[in-house]
Amino acid sequence: MLPLLVISAVRYRSRRHIRFAWKWLRRRQSVPLVYFIVFALGGFLSIHLLHMDTKLYPEWYFGQRHSLVCMFLFFLALVFLFRQRRFPWPLIAAALVFTGSYRGWVQLDARSTKAEKARPPKPKPAPLVTWLNTEAAKHGGMVVALRQPQLLAYQTRGVGYHWYYRRTKLHDI
Amino acid sequence: MVKRFNISYLVVPARSTFPFQRSKAFASAFKLHHTLSRLRIYIPVKATTQ
């Protein structure tokens, strides 16, 4: 997109175009789009400037979820490309969309397949889980006070949990 | 105290002692019901008498 921007800037460098652009910028109706452009640029720059601390983040964030804010600028760039009237640019935009979508889909499929194959077999339930389920079935439901019940609560049926902490007093049990 | 949350069992890791276990009232409020793979399961005393 940058080369295209440079070409456009060179082509539209006349005073008439600059005056038109300035007038467009000062229009009240242009404010939302100007805001969007500034926001998109800010998101893009934040990835490249704020997170470039090599000690804290040795890996470039562009390949991580943190670069999601860049999508606004990519969206604008694609709109810019699609709006070009000369032949190769809309085609390049379409190629970018299709190849990007295809590659994303292939990678997603490969990752999910790999994760599914690497999934360990379902472990046997812990003795406490078995005991709790048996007791709950016997009593028709019960409440148990437990430290960190979230580790096994999803494996039990008919058991309510009362969570206690290291500092919990007896009258709070 | 047991009526407050109406718990049926209190499960405590066998290797650790929680501050509430050190209180004198604990022995009268709960009694050991079962031990299970490094866990102690206590039952409220009032519940056992019902």
Q: Are residues B7 and A170, on separate chains, in Cβ contact within 8 Å?
A: no
Phi-psi region of A28 (alpha: psi -120 to 50; beta: other; left: phi over 0): alpha
State pLDDT tens for residues A124-138.
Answer: 888 999 999 999 999
- Determine the residue of chain A that is closest to B3 in CA distance: A173
**What pLDDT, on a 0 to 100 scale, did the predictor assign at position A161?**
93
Q: Are residues A126 and B37, on separate chains, in Cβ contact within 8 Å?
A: yes
Residue pLDDT tens, chain A, 173 long = 666 777 777 777 788 888 888 898 899 999 999 999 999 999 888 887 766 667 776 667 777 787 888 899 988 888 888 888 887 888 988 998 999 999 999 999 999 999 999 988 888 888 999 999 999 999 888 999 998 898 889 999 999 999 998 888 888 87
Which residues of B are less than 8 Å from A169 in CB distance?
19-20, 23
**What pLDDT, on a 0 to 100 scale, did the predictor assign at position B1?**
43
Sheet strands side by side (includes A142-146): A159-163, A142-146, B9-13, B39-44, B30-36
**What pLDDT, on a 0 to 100 scale, did the predictor assign at position B4?**
58
**What pLDDT, on a 0 to 100 scale, did the predictor assign at position A2?**
63
Residue B7's Cβ-count burial label (10 Å; 0-12, 13-18, 19+) is buried
Q: Are residues B37 and A127, on separate chains, in Cβ contact within 8 Å?
A: yes
Q: Are residues B25 and A144, on separate chains, in Cβ contact within 8 Å?
A: no
Across residues B38-45, what is the average pLDDT?
90
Please tell me whether residue A20 adopts helix, strand or coil conformation.
helix
Q: Which of B5, B13, B25 comes nearest A143 by C-beta? A: B5
Q: DSSP labels for A23-84?
A: HHHHSGGGHHHHHHHHHHHHHHHHHHHTT--TTT--S-GGGSGGGGGGHHHHHHHHHHHHT-
- pLDDT greater at residue A94 or residue B24: A94
Q: Are residues A135 and B19, on separate chains, in Cβ contact within 8 Å?
A: no
Domains of chain A, residue spans = 2-83, 127-168
Q: Which of B4, B9, B18 comes nearest A144 by C-beta? A: B9
Q: Which of A145, A170, A172 comes nearest B26 by C-beta? A: A170
State pLDDT tens for residues A17-51.
Answer: 888 888 988 999 999 999 999 999 998 888 877 66
ipTM value for the complex: 0.80
Interface contact A126, partner B, CB < 8 A: yes
**What pLDDT, on a 0 to 100 scale, did the predictor assign at position A52?**
66
Distances from the Cα of A56 to the Cα of A21, A53, A73, angstroms: 41, 6, 26
Which residues of A are less than 8 Å from B37 in CB distance?
126-128
Rounded Cα distance, A86 and A82, in Å: 10
- Determine the residue of chain B that is closest to A172 in CA distance: B1
Which residues of B are less than 8 Å from A143 in CB distance?
5-8
**What pLDDT, on a 0 to 100 scale, did the predictor assign at position A134?**
93
**What pLDDT, on a 0 to 100 scale, did the predictor assign at position A165?**
87
Interface contact A128, partner B, CB < 8 A: yes
